[in-house]
Amino acid sequence: MDKIRIKIDHSKCTGCRHCETACSSNHYENIVNPALSRIRVFIDEKTDQFFPVIAGPFTEAECTCKYDVIIDGKEYDECNVCRASCPQRTWFREPDTGVPLKCDLCGDPPSPNCVEICNHGALSIVEI
Amino acid sequence: MEGYTGKILRVNLTDGEFAVEDLDPDLIRQYVGGRGLGTKILYDEIDPAIDPLSPENKLIFLNGPLTGTGAPAGARYMVITKAPLTNTIACSNCGGSFGPELKQAGYDGIIFEGCSEEPVYLWIDNDNVEIRPAIDLWGKTTHETDDLIKAEIEDKFVARDTQIACIGPAGENMSKLACIISNRNRAAGRTGVGAVMGSKKLKAIAVRGTKGIKIANKEAFKKAVISAMDKLNAGPVTHEALPALGTPVLVNIVNECKILPTYNWQSSSYENANKISGETMAATIVTKHKGCFACSIACAKCTKVDSPDFKGEGEGPEYENIILMGSSCGIDDLAAIAKASYLCNELGMDTISVGGTIATAMELFEKGYLTEKDAGMKLNFGNAKALVAMTEKMGRGEGFGLVMADGGAPLAEKYGHPELFMGVKKLEAPAYDPRGVQGMGLQYATSNRGACHVRGYSMANEILGVHEKIDPLVTEGKAAVVITFQNLTAIIDSAGLCLFVALCPGFLYEEVQGLLNGATGFNYTIDELVQAGDRIWNLERLFNKKAGFTKEDDMLPKRLLEEPAGPNNDVCRLNEMLPEYYKLRGWDNGFPTQEKMSELGLK
Ligand code: SF4
Ligand code: SF4
Ligand code: SF4
């Protein structure tokens, strides 16, 4: 499991969200639902910036210290690109139950579905 | 039900009521979804002879079974209504993420009926549906509307997931060139569907959904998705040309074939084509590649113009509007064309029709039929500033823009020269001159919504040689080719796929069948799909018949039939193709015979 990592190159992402469909349908029987995906793409349509974010650990409460990040010269609230399954956000929690979702580097041996489906080179696998 | 949600939301804007209804599975199977099913619903529910801008018209937003499922380029929703610009059946389709989100909320589509007294917008958050006041949104551009609706949503993370389709000032003013915009820059563009939305005082639909879409057979569907992606990745157009340059890749190709509309179609090649080509665009204004939902092609281009006169940012321009606003207006300034396109997106107008109408106005002006006093500005060919200024006036309904905002046909008529309108059934023609690609002439003439390239793109074979290279200059055999593309397109549209998949060699019924069967479990046979495409095309025809159209309306502008141009210095020889087309379709006098109708189960 720890033999590979996923590399995200947001500059190549087209905001297509194909990864979201792939991850969700891989984890649920016969269902496609971005809301159940462990990868979500933050899309800023005003600036056409697309940031794929892969779900990390569950946190019980939102951060007390908030900050902004500057990416490609544009400023964003860090919560937009954070990977935590956090109670203040809609992402990375099952919509009905609130159960946290976390990337499990799926496939056996790991063959992440999101990477497999991404046709634009934004997601790739790095062997370590 | 799989692939579909099986539910449609019916909203009556007159009394502010709504209800969720079940879709009939038999009907779905016969009409596939989206364009086909929407046409069937409209055909059954309205009298095709009504005024498109009256409360009696209905406005249907409908997904296809593949929309939002993860099928590559399965991003599309369709808007079906009676078209204000053409008075024909309208189906305009749009990518982005709006359709998929609507489906995630649990609806295949929405039927709007009646007309609200005050401006409203529809809010959908899964089962929570509200008709909300939109007085503050009225008059706003599409971008402002998007921002304001999202700002109203308390939870900013819900706002972030919300997808919006809306109209701009053009739709509010019921300009017959008005479109519906979603994701800020994607358009359900043609035939004036935005005006219907405006006539109903419906400013926007905002939707968010988290319910999920059921897939019939996970393994089969995944296999079909991979197979479709492999095909798309092996196609030169879908894997190289479109991702690298977007649709503007066509500018140089089409110009070399001498079928590029120039100076309102007085000529068919443009000396300055290189200045407005995809290559130039990529080297100067493109900042990023963008894709609709689950699209492995990503043809959309984000662009930015820095020149002080035309400063702006947005998406596009696309091939068609580069030509209609560019060479057809004698304009070689890409920055101005981009600016006019941004304005169209923000004000909510169809870029093709706006360009076509301005080109007509420019020829009227050059020939002295339209004066500077009337137009309020010099509308000479090549006047880039006038292109931008007039686009804005049309979008806002100001001055002479108000006259032009109803399209090229009434304009040319008003100034006594209807022959200078370059379109069919009042729809401005897209950017391929049929005098050098004969099949497209037949396509323009017979298309059920007027001169249109995305109803049967025989260009794919005639010029691009995608599935098979055929001679664009001959008329023999074109009737069959056009019919094949028309029927296939009806299925691709109805399925919810982007038509660009058909620009990939071998992406024909088999691929669509694989995806449809995986998602829906319908086990469609190829024959059944071919017949469904035929059925949809014939039903659209019947709608037009009831709307008062006749065989005489299947006609091209005189210029294309009488003034030679193009590589062979030829005219479009429509009369050599049309009788065969009717015969192969099983039509008499331009419309399906009783026999044909019963074969397809149509009434
Ligand atoms: S599939 Fe790739 S390109 Fe598309 S949104 Fe996901 S990471 Fe971005
Ligand atoms: S690796 Fe697997 S679980 Fe993790 S985001 Fe990608 S598809 Fe989802
Ligand atoms: S090919 Fe272009 S228009 Fe079609 S779905 Fe993909 S990005 Fe959208």
What is the per-residue DSSP string for B168-219? -HHHHTT-TTB-EEETTTEEE-GGGHHHHHHHTTEEEEEEE--S-EE-S-HH
Which one, of B554, B234, B581, lies nearest residue B424 by Cα? B554
Q: What is the CATH number of the domain that holds B34?
A: 3.60.9.10
- Tell me the per-residue pLDDT of B79-125, one tens digit each, with 9 for 90 and over: 999 999 999 999 999 999 999 999 999 999 999 999 999 999 999 99
Q: How many structural domains is chain B composed of?
A: 3
Give the residue with greater pLDDT, B319 vs A72. B319
Of A32, A36, A90, the CB nearest to B157: A90
Tell me what pLDDT residue A127 has.
Answer: 87
Domain with B97, as residue range(s), is: 7-208
Can you give the pLDDT at residue B82?
98
Residues B169 and B248 in one domain: no
Do you find a cis peptide bond into B317, omega within 30 degrees of 0? yes
Task: Please report how many Cα atoms fall inside a 13 Å half-sphere around the Cα of residue B463, on the Cβ side.
Answer: 25
Whole-number Å distance between alpha carbons of B14 and A125: 55
Q: What is the mean pLDDT of chain B?
A: 97
CATH number at residue B391: 1.10.569.10
Q: Which amino acid is at B439?
A: G
- DSSP readout, B279-333? HHHHHHTEEEEE--TT-SS--EEEEEE--GGG-EEEE---HHHHHHHTGGGT---
Identify all chain B residues contacting A28, using CB atoms and an 8 Å cutoff.
Answer: 212
Q: Is residue B104 part of a domain?
A: yes
pLDDT of residue B441: 98
Over residues B136-165, mean pLDDT: 96
pLDDT above 60: residue A1: no
Is the confidence at residue B479, as pLDDT, over 60? yes
C-alpha span between B522 and B357 (Å, rounded): 44
Burial B63-92 (b: 16+ CB within 10 A, else e): bbbbbbbbbbbbbbbbbbbbbbbbbbbbbb
Would you call A72 an interface residue with chain B, using a CB distance cutoff of 8 Å?
no
Residue B47, C-beta contacts closer than 8 angstroms, at least 6 positions apart:
B56, B546
* A12 CA: nearest ligand 1 atom: 3
- Please tell me the distance between residue B80's alpha carbon and the centre of ligand 1 in angstroms: 30
pLDDT, residue B603, reads 86
User: Does a structural domain hold residue B271?
Assistant: yes
Return the residue whose CA atom lies nearest to atom 4 of ligand 1. A16
Considering the domain architecture, whether residues B458 and B557 belong to the same structural domain is answered as yes
pLDDT at residue A111 in the model: 85
The per-residue pLDDT for range B537-572, each reduced to its tens digit, is: 999 999 999 999 999 999 999 999 999 999 999 999
Q: What is the mean pLDDT of residues B432-452?
A: 97
- Secondary structure (3-state) at B257: coil
Alpha-carbon span A105 to B281, nearest angstrom: 40
Closest to B494 in 3D by CA, of B27, B86, B52: B27
Q: Looking at the structure, tell me whether residues B495 and B395 fall in a common domain.
A: no
* Cβ count near A9 (within 10 Å): 12
pLDDT in tens, B322-367: 999 999 999 999 999 999 999 999 999 999 999 999 999 999 999 9
Per-residue pLDDT, A107: 81
Cis peptide before A109 (omega within 30 of 0): yes
Q: How confident is the model at residue B386 (pLDDT cuts 50, 70, 90)?
A: very high
Claim to verify: residue B16 and residue B154 sit in the same structural domain: yes
High-pLDDT (> 90) share of chain B, %:
99
Angstrom distance (rounded) from CA B72 to CA A18:
8
**B325 and B420 inside one domain:** yes
Of B390, B405, B428, at which residue does a domain stop?
B428
Residues of B with CB under 8 A from a CB of A: 2, 68-70, 72, 97, 104, 146-147, 155, 157-158, 160-161, 183-184, 209-218, 222, 225, 229, 233, 287-296, 298, 300, 302, 315
pLDDT digits (tens, 9 = 90+) for A68-124: 999 888 899 999 999 999 999 999 999 999 999 999 999 877 889 999 999 999 999
Residue B63 has pLDDT above 90, yes or no: yes
- Ligand 3 lined by B498 (C-beta under 6 Å): yes
Cα–Cα–Cα angle for B201, B206, B208, rounded to 5 degrees: 155
Q: Which residue has the tokens 């001679």?
A: B471
Centre of ligand 2 from the C-alpha of residue B221, in Å: 19
Q: Please, which pLDDT band fits residue B583 given cuts at 50, 70 and 90?
A: very high
| Distance, CA of B100 to CA of B94 (rounded, Å) | 11
Judged by CB atoms closer than 8 Å, whether chains meet at B298 and A14 is answered as yes
Select from B208, B233, B252 the last residue of a domain: B208
Q: What is the pLDDT of residue B46?
A: 98
Q: What is the mean pLDDT of residues B252-268?
A: 97
Three-state secondary-structure class, residue B339: helix
Token pair for B567: 């590589």
Measured at the alpha carbon of residue B474, what is the angle toward residues B510 and B560, in degrees to the nearest 5?
105
| Boundary of a domain, candidates B428, B455, B475 | B428
First to last CA, chain B: 27
Euclidean distance between CA atoms A107 and B372, whole angstroms? 69
Q: Is the dihedral of CA B80, B51, B405, B172 positive or negative?
A: negative
Q: Of A10, A12, A13, A21, which to mutate for an interface test with B (greatest number of B Cβ within 10 Å)? A: A21
Q: Which of A12, A16, A62, A118 to mutate to test the interface with B (most CBs of B within 10 A)?
A: A16
When CB atoms are compared, the residue of B218, B294, B295 closest to A30 is B218
Residue B11 lies in a domain: yes
Q: Report the C-alpha gap between B72 and B296 in whole angstroms.
A: 6
pLDDT at B258: 97
Residues with CB under 6 A from ligand 1: A 13-19, 41, 50, 52, 117-118, 120, 122-123
Residue B190 Ramachandran class (φ > 0 left, ψ -120 to 50 alpha, else beta): beta
Structure tokens at A29: 């029987």
B382 and B451 share a domain?
no
- What's the half-sphere exposure (Cβ side, CA atoms, 13 Å) at B10? 13
Maximal CA-CA distance, chain A = 41
Do A31 and A25 touch, CB atoms closer than 8 A? yes
Task: Flag whether the ipTM exceeds 0.90.
Answer: yes
Contact, B360 vs B421, CB < 8 A? Answer: yes
For residue A40, the cross-strand partners are A53
Using the beta-carbon criterion (under 8 Å), do A80 and B160 form an inter-chain contact?
Answer: yes
**Structure tokens that stand for B219 in this block:** 């393994």
The answer on B515 and B419 residing in a single domain is: no
Closest CA to B251 of B561, B463, B498, B497: B463
- CB contact under 8 Å between B215 and A22, yes or no, is no
Closest ligand to Cα A42: 1
The radius of gyration of chain A from alpha carbons, rounded to an integer in Å, stands at 14
Residue B228 domain-assigned?
Answer: no
DSSP A58: B
CA of B212 to the centre of ligand 3 (A): 22
The sign of the dihedral angle between the CA atoms of B18, B23, B24, B27 is positive
Domain CATH code at residue B529: 1.10.599.10
- The answer to whether residue B216 is domain-embedded is no
Residue A2's pLDDT is 59
Identity at B201, one-letter amino acid code: K
Please check the confidence at residue B53 and state whether its pLDDT lies above 90: yes
Same domain, B14 and B138: yes
Report the separation in Å between the CA atom of B299 and the middle of ligand 2, taken as the mean of its atom positions.
Answer: 26
Cβ of A17 within 8 Å of Cβ of B97? The answer is yes
Residue of A nearest to B211 (CA): A33
Q: Does A82 touch chain B (CB under 8 A)?
A: no
Q: Where are the domains of chain A?
A: 4-127
The encoded tokens of residue B34 equal 């989206």
- At residue B264, the pLDDT reads 98
Q: Nearest CA to B74 among B185, B300, B290, B225?
A: B225
How is residue B388 written in tokens? 């931008």
* The pLDDT of residue A3: 82
Nearest CA in chain A to B299: A14
Measured from the Cβ of residue B21, the count of other Cβ atoms closer than 10 Å reads: 12
**Mean local confidence (pLDDT), B378-386:** 98
Pairing assessment for the beta strands B109-113 and B427-428 based on DSSP bridges: unpaired
Beta-bridge mates of residue A51: A42
